[in-house]
Every structure is written in C-alpha cells, then in structure tokens.
Amino acid sequence: MLIKERYKAFVEYFSTHNPDAQTELNYGNPFELLIAVILSAQCTDKRINQVTPALFERYPNPESLAASSSDEVFTYIKSVSYPNNKAKHLVGMAQKLLSEFHGEIPEKVEDLVKLPGVGRKTANVISSVVFHNPAMAVDTHVFRVADRIGLTNKATTPLAAEKQLVKHLPKDTIAMAHHWLILHGRYICLARSPKCDICPISYFCRYFERNKKAKLVHKD
C-alpha cells in the first residue's frame, strides 16, 4: 500500500468513527491544561486527573502559582512521576508567564518552549488544543503507532516523526490526528501486546501485514 493510501485510509476511518477525539486530561482553561500536560510527562492521564483538582483549586492562576514554592507544590503532586522536578518546573513556568508573557499562555511553539517544563511535545499540545493550530505533538504513543501502521518511515526521533506526519496529513486534520494516534495507542495498539485481533485498522497496518506474513512463513 502506498503512503498516500495509508494516510487516506487512516483519516477516513478515524474522521468517521472518532470525529470528536480530544485529550483525556481534565482542565477548565488553558492555564490548567498547560499544568496538566507538564505533569503528564511519563505519567498516566488517570493519575494526573486525580491530583489536579486540588492543585487547580490552590493555584487558579499564574500569580498564585508563581508566588508559591516548589516544596509546597510538591505536596500536591507527590504521587506523579518526577514530582520534585515537576514542582520546580510549574513554579518556574508561572513566573516566566508573568515576567515575559503578561500571564497569558503564548500561542507560538517557539514561545511556549521558553517556559520551564515545556518541551516541543507539550508546546504542540497547547498550540493544537488551545489555539487549534495544525501542530502535531509526538509522544510515545504517537511515535509507536505512526510507525507501526506505516504513517512514518524510518523516523528515529519524535521530531522526524512530527515532520513526516505534518507533511502528509491534510492540514485540517493534524491537530485531531494527534488524539487519534494517542487513543489508538492507549487502548488498542499497546506497546507490548498490541490487540491486533480486534484492531479496526489492521487492514492497512504495516505491523499487522508483517506479522501476518511472518506467521505464514513460520507455519510453512
């Protein structure tokens, strides 16, 4: 199957079956989403959603978070991964928002990555979810699934995968495709034991094609 055909099949399936896909992180405004995404690095959305209600109540805006200490923030997020670093990042992020961006979440990726704790993936999430820009955030799920189903080819880094996905996806689907890939990787295309037997897109999946052929060869 040609690369164009894979992308066409991918977009057609998910735009039909999951047209309103969205992040599973709970948030009420862009500031809360930024906090949640920073916390979600190498941690589950489920865990983040457990700790953020109290965190958001204590720090409803950049001013309150910037005036706090990483030690205090730590008490709210100690159950997430790398809480010490993330507590420092959150306070630093809020302080930077106030000092350079007047307390407003910047729209451009190049500005977002200036904030402590915000890498390119987090910046792309904010750019796409908050500002509806055609930005592709590549996390472990996106990186794995895009490679398996054949949307990327020999992409050895998240940035390489991002560039390939942005190049081939229709511009108006890029932000949504991020959620399609994440959710598919979270519930079907698992890292260790992908559920190929129930996968609805196995008919155009390169990983499935290879495994099917391998099983046939082994059977012979």
- The set of long-range contacts for 93-99, using a CB threshold of 8 Å and a minimum separation of 24, is 93/34, 93/35, 93/38, 93/65, 93/117, 93/118, 94/59, 94/62, 94/63, 94/65, 94/66, 95/66, 97/62, 97/66, 98/62, 98/63, 98/66
3-state SS, residue 127: helix
How far apart, in whole angstroms, are the C-alpha atoms of residue 154 and residue 159? 12
φ and ψ of 21, to 5 deg: -60, 140
Pair 118, 159: CB distance under 8 Å: no
What is the C-alpha end-to-end distance of the chain, expressed in Å?
A: 25
Residue of 86, 96, 121, 147 marked catalytic: 121
Q: Catalytic annotation on 121?
A: yes
43 is in an annotated binding site: no
Q: Catalytic annotation on 167?
A: no
How far apart, in whole angstroms, are the C-alpha atoms of residue 205 and residue 220? 23
Residue of 139, 147, 197, 213 marked catalytic: 139
Going by the DSSP 8-state scheme, the letter that residue 106 receives in this structure is: P
Task: Write out the binding residues.
Answer: 189, 196, 199, 205
Binding residues for [4Fe-4S] cluster: 189, 196, 199, 205
Q: Which residues are marked as active site? A: 121, 139
